[in-house]
Structure 1
Amino acid sequence: MKGLAFRKLGRSTSHRNHLLRNLVTSLLEHERIVTTVAKAKEASRLAEKMITLGKRGTPTALSSAQSFLFNTGTSMPRLSEMAARYAERPGGYTRVHLMGHRKGDHAPRAVLELVDNPTDVKLDMTARTVAREAYTLLHRAQKNIGWDALQALLQKQASLPIESDTRFHPLTRKNMAKIVRYRGEAARAEFVQKAQQYLERMWAQDQLEGKRRPDTARWDAMELSRPSRGRTLTRPMTGARVHAGELETHVAASVGTEVEEARPIRRRDGTIAPARRTRTSKPSVVRLAKGVFAKRRLRGTTTPVP
């Protein structure tokens, strides 16, 4: 009955088993594969079982792993390496990252990888997040960021346990703690080095390109080359671009700051209200995608502080 159920879906039981064995073997050899979400979840479960058998190390366990894996001449030595790498880790040897949809049939894709591999996606993404948050902290400290201030911040980060720095977001600190929990000082040094590189790259890009501004030359060229189609709806921009739904660094740094208005507010009855302190909130328009904007319910960018 089980085989008949799989034949109805277009894949027999033997075909399914061979497919999963092939995925697990490729994962052990390359430490990262790209497949659909359903296959990634099922292959992740079997890969965890194979690594557990490799850590057990008994003849029976190794024989079971050898009967499951393909290309045993290369997969079994790799299994021994994975068992040595995860000797102190009680479980959780694989990680699944969602990767959009596949072109053609629009199937949801995923990246299945072994944790603590040389090109760990989670380590790279967390390093980028730390660099972006540190750059926002620099913008809040001063508008004109010099190289000396950048180097001072990097030295301060390198001298402290970065996962214990309360200046970063709690979720970011949680991800950093996961990265360095079983890998020790080597992972912490690699993580700090990557964060430094991304932070320096952001600073250099800001110094070279400047803030996001309209590209008037390209705008005029587009109007002259396509006069029959009318004016373009979206003005081309130059400088550092922001991702959809995100704010620019200098705008995000100003959110939450409190200032006292220099000019008192004039009331309708002619009287003048005293000066008040205002807190800068998120702007009333957020960029969703290229040329697409959505309005927030906020009426302005500042709100009075009670």
Structure 2
Amino acid sequence: MAGGHMKYRTLSRNSAHRQALLRNLVTALFKHESITTTWAKAKEAQRLADKLVTLGKRNSEAARNKAKSIFYEPSLLPKLFTTIRDRYATRPGGYTRVLRLEPQREDQSPSAILELVDSPKDTRMALTARTLAYQRSQAAKSGSKNQTPHQPNEVTRGNILKVTRFREDGDEALEEMVRKFEWLDGKREWAEGEKRREEERKWKEDVVVGAEEGGRRGEKKEWERWVVDPAEVERKERVYPKLERTRI
């Protein structure tokens, strides 16, 4: 019936071009385990990627022939029927994830990340670990005398369950990533502190706060933000008589 509900997105392409595009996307996905594309393309490629993982879990001759007809790179077949199959052996479904991004293209089209869940490049796990590291650092800075550990909120607890439920040694992997983020935050704070202290030291050494003969040096005040340029002082001393100068 003309004008009926469409079962899938055409992606502004004919059938052959659309199928070639999806095959190219899933080939890149299984090669790199995480790709960035438009939202519509990611949602359509997600369906084909989930079917490929299902074929890998079946591990039959018919499944191998079907997967071979989809991949543009046959070298990915061993990875599908060994690494991917073992990774999702206990997972009943949901092998891929689509995460929205800010528009990446010039036309501001919706962008997204398409990734294999529980992979080394799992974006949600990295974001969850980053959140936990930040919350722990804020709890430590608050100086609370309560010795009970910081409890994440409901959303963070849900994300923790998602990234650790079917991952082998998921809790240990998440905790290791949290420690890495805490170490990076510590290094960043140390670098920012060193930069701030160096700027203050240079300010105390080089700021000129007066226009007397020979200049007068002093320390930076919180209320004083102006800096006298020595070249400007010299120019005004040549132009204006000394008696007419009250402050330069």
Decide: shared fold, TM above 0.5: yes
What is the match of residue 112 of structure 1?
Answer: 114
Match of 2:220 in 1: none
Residue of 29, 32, 43 corresponding to 1:30 = 32
1:197 deviates by 2.3
Structure 2 letter corresponding to 1:122: R
Deviation at 1:46, TM superposition (A): 0.7
Deviation at 1:192, TM superposition (A): 1.1
> How far apart are the structure 2 equivalents of 1:71 and 1:207?
46
Instruction: Give the letter aligned to residue 21 of structure 1.
Output: R
1:200 counterpart residue number: 183
1:189 equivalent among 172, 184, 201: 172
Distance verdict in 2 for CA 1:220–1:89, change over 3 Å: farther
Q: What residue ranges of structure 2 are gaps of 5+ in the alignment?
A: 204-224, 230-248
In the superposition, the TM-score normalised over structure 1's length comes to 0.56
**Residue 153 of structure 2, aligned match among 166, 169, 185:** 169
| Percent of residue pairs bearing the same amino acid type | 38
Matching residue of 2:221: none
| 1:69 paired to 2:71 | yes
Q: Within 1, Cα distance between the matches of 2:109 and 2:164?
A: 34
Q: Secondary structure at the match of 1:125?
A: helix
- Structure 1 residue 204 displacement after superposition: 4.2
CA contact (8 A) 2:11 2:41 kept: no
Q: 1:46 aligns with which of 48, 51, 64?
A: 48
Tell me the distance in 1 between the aligned counterparts of 2:25 and 2:187.
Answer: 41
Alpha-carbon spacing, 1:208–1:34, altered in 2? closer, same or farther (3 Å): closer
AA matched with 1:189: E
Q: Where does residue 239 of structure 1 map in the other structure? A: none
Which residue of structure 1 lines up, in the alignment, with residue 162 of structure 2?
178
Structure 2 counterpart of 1:17, from 8, 16, 19: 19
Distance 2:164 2:97 in 1: 16
CA gap of 1:33–1:208, structure 2 versus 1, over 3 A, is closer
Provide the TM-score with structure 2 as the length reference: 0.68
Measure the CA separation in 2 of the matches of 1:121 and 1:35: 15
| Shift in Å, 1:127 | 0.8
Mark the runs of 5 or more structure 1 residues left unpaired by the alignment: 144-152, 157-164, 225-306
- Written as runs of structure 1 = structure 2, the 5 A alignment for 1:50-129 is 50-72=52-74, 74-80=75-81, 81-129=83-131
Partners of 1:206 and 1:68 in 2: CA distance: 48
Matched residue type, 1:134: R
Question: Structure 2 counterpart of 1:201, which letter?
Answer: L
Q: Report the count of equivalent residues.
A: 197
Report deviation, 1:178: 1.6
Per-residue deviation, residues 75-130 of structure 1 (Å, max 9, x unmatched) = 21121121121111111111112121123211111111111111221111111100
Q: Name the one with the larger helix percent.
A: 2
RMSD: 3.4
Q: What displacement does 1:52 show?
A: 0.3
Structure 1 residues 209 and 83: CA distance shift in structure 2, 3 A? same
The 5 Å alignment of 1:151-162 reads none
Q: Deviations over 1:169-209 (max 9, x none)?
A: 12212211221211232x32222122122223334444553
